[in-house]
């Protein structure tokens, strides 16, 4: 029953990447963590097909690929609703699906969110680099060529008998807004910003710039009353850091960001809200809300407990 199934990409889509939980532990050498940006949705997809929660999925951004399935497969789709279709007919999300050999999966208009996750039951057959299947950041994509989907790419998966179908109840499926409150903690240089700058930062609503990618979201608009210090000595960066360029433009770092930087960091997005942020598209608007560390830790704990209850992990 264990078969080698081939997924043939007739179209690559805008950006389709294999991602898992990332390559944690090499940041001292300048390697970005990477990994799926909407961790909750990606783990749900893996759970729905009986794969390891942190294992590889396909992260599909806005415009999806067209995929021909060589063998019967069990799949699941979570995250953004990019109008998935099987042989032209709409497909449900957030449940285990049986895909017969010879079927074609493609996508239509993006309706909600930015990134969809496709899980396929079985063992994915592609090389890891530094312990992860995740595609390396854009400029280093050549390091992980098989994790970056191109037209006519083949993704091989050693399938196994399907698990009994699973479903994520409606109330646990995330809804992604075009306008989103995102909770943040004060960043390491928060104290260097004037009261006026901070007041402005929390009252303004920032559109997400089209010059955004998996390294970071550039936000349109500037921080008022910002006077950059002459020199900030570079230090480590973590995803969720909101740094301010010398021109006053805020940039939220995401999973593919460089591991260090020398800009003032005004705030850090709390972990519980990173998936919501990562599902925002260029043009969507983000509003930052300050919280305390205990509040952030509580939100994170609740998220982990929900994952444990829902996905039994």
Partner 1 sequence: MMLGKENFTSSRQIRSERISSLSVLSFSEAICNFGAKEHIISVSYQYFPRLKPYGDRAVLVEFEQQIDDAINARVVALQRALAGTPGISCLIPAYCSLTVVYQPDVWSYARLETHIKACFPLRAETAAAEGRRLYLPVCYQPAFAPDMPQVAAHTGLDGATIVDLHCKATYRVFMLGFLPGFVYLGKLPPALYCPRKERPRLRVPACSVGIAGFQTGIYPVEAPGGWQLIGRTPIPPFNPEHESPFLLESGDEVSFYPISEDRFHQIARQWKRGEYPRQLLYEQAE
- Judged by CB under 8 A, which of 2, 4, 10, 25 binds partner 1? 25
Residues 122-151 vs partner 1: string with x where CB under 8 A?
-------xx--------xx--x--------
Is the alpha carbon torsion for 183, 189, 195, 200 positive or negative? negative
Q: In the structure encoding, which two tokens stand for residue 122, read together?
A: 């079985």
Residues 225-264 vs partner 1: string with x where CB under 8 A?
--------xxxxxx-xx----------------xxx----
CA separation (Å) from 154 to 11, 282, 295, 310? 11, 30, 45, 32
- Judged by CB under 8 A, which of 269, 276, 277, 278 binds partner 1? 269
Sheet containing strand 179-186, strands side by side:
206-207, 285-290, 179-186, 264-269, 241-244, 250-253, 216-218
Q: In the structure encoding, which two tokens stand for residue 136, read together?
A: 């390396």
Taking the complex as a whole, the smallest distance from the CB of residue 68 to partner 1 amounts, in Å, to: 31
From 74-82, 106-114, 166-174, 295-303, give the range in contact with partner 1 by CB under 8 A.
Answer: 295-303
Q: Residue 160 CA to chain centroid, in angstroms?
A: 27
Question: How many chain residues are in contact with partner 1, going by CB under 8 A?
Answer: 38
Interatomic CA distance for residues 207 and 190, integer angstroms? 22
Residue with Cβ nearer partner 1 (84 or 187): 187
Q: In the structure encoding, which two tokens stand for residue 258, read together?
A: 């460089």
Residue with Cβ nearer partner 1 (209 or 259): 259
Residue with Cβ nearer partner 1 (95 or 297): 297
Residue with Cβ nearer partner 1 (88 or 127): 127
179 strand-pairing partners? 285
Return the SS3 of 197.
helix
- Judged by CB under 8 A, which of 293, 302, 306, 309 binds partner 1? 293
Return the SS3 of 102.
coil
From 8-16, 27-35, 48-56, 219-227, give the range in contact with partner 1 by CB under 8 A.
Answer: 27-35
Residue with Cβ nearer partner 1 (155 or 296): 296
Q: In the structure encoding, which two tokens stand for residue 235, read together?
A: 């230090």
Q: Residue 204 CB: number of other CB atoms within 10 A?
A: 17
Sheet containing strand 73-81, strands side by side:
15-19, 57-61, 112-120, 73-81, 97-99
Residues 43-82 vs partner 1: string with x where CB under 8 A?
----------------------------------------
Return the SS3 of 305.
helix
CA separation (Å) from 303 to 153, 158, 233, 270? 35, 32, 34, 11
Q: Does 270 bind partner 1 (CB under 8 A)?
A: yes
From 34-42, 98-106, 153-161, 290-298, give the range in contact with partner 1 by CB under 8 A.
Answer: 290-298
From 59-67, 103-111, 208-216, 289-297, give the range in contact with partner 1 by CB under 8 A.
Answer: 289-297
- Catalog residues that contact partner 1 under the rule CB under 8 A: 24-31, 33, 129-130, 139-140, 143, 185, 187-188, 233-238, 240-241, 258-260, 268-271, 293, 296-297, 300-301, 304
């Amino acid at each position: 029953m264990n078969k080698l199934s081939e997924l043939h990409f007739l179209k690559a889509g805008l950006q389709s990447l294999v991602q898992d939980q990332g390559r944690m532990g090499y940041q001292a050498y300048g390697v970005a963590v990477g990994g799926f940006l909407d961790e909750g949705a990606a783990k749900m997809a893996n759970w729905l097909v009986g794969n390891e929660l942190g294992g590889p999925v396909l992260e599909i951004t806005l415009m999806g690929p067209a995929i021909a399935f060589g063998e019967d497969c069990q799949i699941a789709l979570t995250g953004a609703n990019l109008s998935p279709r099987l042989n032209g007919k709409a497909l449900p999300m957030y449940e285990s699906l049986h895909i017969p050999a010879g079927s074609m999966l493609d996508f239509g208009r993006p309706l909600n969110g930015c990134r969809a996750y496709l899980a396929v039951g079985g063992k994915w057959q592609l090389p890891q680099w530094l312990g992860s299947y995740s595609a390396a950041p854009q400029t280093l994509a050549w390091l992980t060529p098989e994790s970056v989907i191109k037209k006519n790419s083949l993704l091989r998966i050693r399938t196994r008998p399907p698990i009994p179908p699973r479903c994520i109840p409606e109330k646990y499926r995330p809804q992604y807004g075009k306008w989103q409150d995102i909770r943040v903690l004060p960043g390491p240089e928060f104290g260097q910003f004037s009261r006026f700058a901070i007041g402005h930062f929390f009252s303004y609503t920032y559109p997400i710039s089209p010059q955004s990618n998996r390294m970071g979201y550039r936000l349109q608009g500037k921080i008022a009353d910002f006077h950059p210090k002459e020199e900030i000595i570079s230090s480590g960066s973590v995803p969720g850091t909101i740094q301010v360029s010398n021109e006053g433009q805020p940039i939220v770092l995401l999973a593919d960001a460089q591991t260090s930087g020398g800009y003032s960091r005004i705030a850090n997005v709390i972990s519980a809200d990173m998936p919501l942020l990562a599902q925002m598209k260029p043009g969507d608007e983000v509003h930052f809300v300050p919280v305390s560390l205990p509040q952030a830790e509580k939100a994170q704990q609740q998220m982990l407990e929900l994952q444990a209850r829902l996905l039994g992990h």
